[in-house]
Amino acid sequence: MKQLWIKYRYWVIATFIIVWMMIFDSNNIVDLIKIRSSINELEDKKEFYSNEIDTLRKEEKALFSNIKNLEKFAREKYLMKKDNEDIFVIIE
């Protein structure tokens, strides 16, 4: 047994170090995979919100560039009306 240990000691030590780093270390494989998936999810959210910001900026530019568009938006979104008008809301 002692000769076997001496013969394969580098392989045993290397295997032990690899197993230790994969399972017990603070930067183990499972944690790295979780962190990587979290990073990917956050990058997807960042891209989504960047697209939403661009869309909202375009809508804002369209609304405030024309007074009729602004009035239409206020009537549809916030149910605003003039003094002599009645509003009928139809819900499908």
Dist CA 71 CA 85 (whole Å): 14
User: Residue 88: phi, psi to the nearest 5?
Assistant: -120, 120
Q: What is the mean pLDDT of each run of 10 residues along the chain (92 residues)?
A: 78 88 81 93 98 94 86 81 79 84
70: amino acid identity, one letter: L
Domain ranges of the chain: 2-78
pTM value is 0.57
* Residue appearing with tokens 């809508």: 59
Dist CA 80 CA 71 (whole Å): 9
Contact 20, 14 (CB under 8 A): no
Query: According to the model, what pLDDT value does residue 1 have?
Result: 64
Other Cβ atoms less than 10 A from the Cβ of 74: the count is: 13
Sign of CA dihedral 77, 78, 79, 81: negative
Query: According to the model, what pLDDT value does residue 44 have?
Result: 98
